[in-house]
Amino acid sequence: MEVQSPVKSCLEKYQLLIKRLKKSDCLAVAFSGGVDSTLLLKAAVDALKKEVVAITSTSCVHAIREISAAKEVALHFGVEHICFDPGMMDDKRFVENTARRCYFCKRRMFEKMKEVLCEKEDVPLVHGVNIDDLGDYRPGLEAAQELGISAPMVEAELTKKEIRQLAAYFKLEVADKPAMSCLATRIPYGEPITEEALKKVEAAESALSEMGFYQFRVRHHGNVARIEFSASDLKRLFEAKLLGRVVEKVKEAGYIYVAADLEGYGQGRMNRVLDM
């Protein structure tokens, strides 16, 4: 029996994705500018040419640098790009920051997206969830399902690893882009979300990114910034003797105390309290 190479297997799944997208005459892609939504946008363009719209939330829960990057990518693909503010901070259920925060966030964002798209004759909306996402605690996926927003890459059974392989194969600049999530995920459940806290997190993370750190999170604990670095970033932190600069930059963002989490970076780390 022939053993498929990873690229060949990925390309077959990519063709399944194209076939799925071609069932629509036009599409709108919920577009963050990350590797998942970028590959989905490319696939939509490959399937439907110019009958594609990218739509991006510019809420304060999204870092400005990420929004700017999304604009550049959409421009590269030559598609219409709609940016809008869903007014996330006006939703008290989101601001309360319960374990259902992600649900209320996605529900409001997708509802507002659909409202915007209604002005374009109700273009079908898709989002870039992959199979690996289904194994994490993501109540926002429930909101997408309730609103009839499909996940074509799940239907094509694409994993995160395969999406990165395809992005590299197609020479997309985001192929190695680190995973990102909304800034609200940096704030512990039960602590109200404020614009001040979001801005502090964004300023600290932007400073660390400019210093060359790759995969990390600044977890917000009042006056304390608990930073989760990936293993390679944590090693660089000590070997390059960057501790002083990191402390300085994070304090400039508004924190009084700066701590490096010795356990390192991990997605969904704030969800641990849900199992207690």
Judging by DSSP bridges, how do beta strands 52-57 and 80-84 pair with one another? parallel
Q: Give the pLDDT score at 36.
A: 97
Per residue in 219-240, pLDDT (tens digit) is 999 999 999 999 999 999 988 8
Q: Pick 205 or 8 by higher pLDDT.
A: 205
DSSP string of 220-268, one letter each residue: EETTEEEEEE-HHHHHHHHHTT-HHHHHHHHHHTT-SEEEE-TT---TT
**6-169 with 185-275: one CATH topology?**
no
Per residue in 153-171, pLDDT (tens digit) is 999 999 999 999 999 999 9
pLDDT band at 8 (very low <50, low <70, confident <90, very high): confident
Which CATH architecture fits 185-275? Answer: 2-Layer Sandwich (3.30)
Q: Is the pLDDT of residue 270 over 90?
A: no
Per residue in 104-138, pLDDT (tens digit) is 999 999 999 999 998 777 789 999 999 988 877 78
* Cα separation values, 18 from 14, 75, 76, Å: 6, 21, 20
Q: Is the pLDDT of residue 11 over 80?
A: yes
Per residue in 74-102, pLDDT (tens digit) is 999 999 999 999 999 999 999 999 999 99
Q: Give the pLDDT score at 135.
A: 75
> How crowded is residue 85: how many other Cβ atoms within 10 Å of its Cβ?
12
According to DSSP, residue 54 is labeled E
Q: Give the pLDDT score at 189.
A: 95
Nearest to 20 by CA among 138, 110, 150, 123: 150
Sheet containing 80-84: which strands, arranged edge to edge? 80-84, 52-57, 27-30, 125-126
Residue ranges of alpha helices (H) inside the chain are: 6-21, 35-48, 64-77, 92-95, 101-118, 140-146, 152-155, 160-169, 195-210, 231-239, 243-252
Ordered by start, the domain boundaries in the chain are: 6-169, 185-275
Contact between 95 and 191 under an 8 Å Cβ cutoff? The reply is: no
Q: Give the pLDDT score at 137.
A: 74
What the block records as the tokens of 64 is 């400005």
**Mean pLDDT of the chain, nearest integer:** 92
Per residue in 184-196, pLDDT (tens digit) is 999 999 999 999 9
Percent of the chain with pLDDT over 70: 95
Q: Give the pLDDT score at 1.
A: 41
- For the ranges 8-12, 71-75, 93-97, 171-175, the lowest mean pLDDT is seen at 8-12
Write the single-letter amino acid at 95. V
* Cα separation values, 248 from 17, 65, 211, 220, 262, Å: 46, 21, 12, 17, 19
Query: Under CATH, which number does the domain 6-169 receive?
Result: 3.40.50.620
Residues 209 and 224: their CA atoms lie apart, in Å, by 19
pTM of the shown model = 0.91
* Cα separation values, 170 from 31, 33, 71, 165, 266, Å: 18, 16, 19, 9, 28
pLDDT average, residue stretch 265-272: 72
Q: Give the pLDDT score at 25.
A: 93
pLDDT band at 261 (very low <50, low <70, confident <90, very high): very high
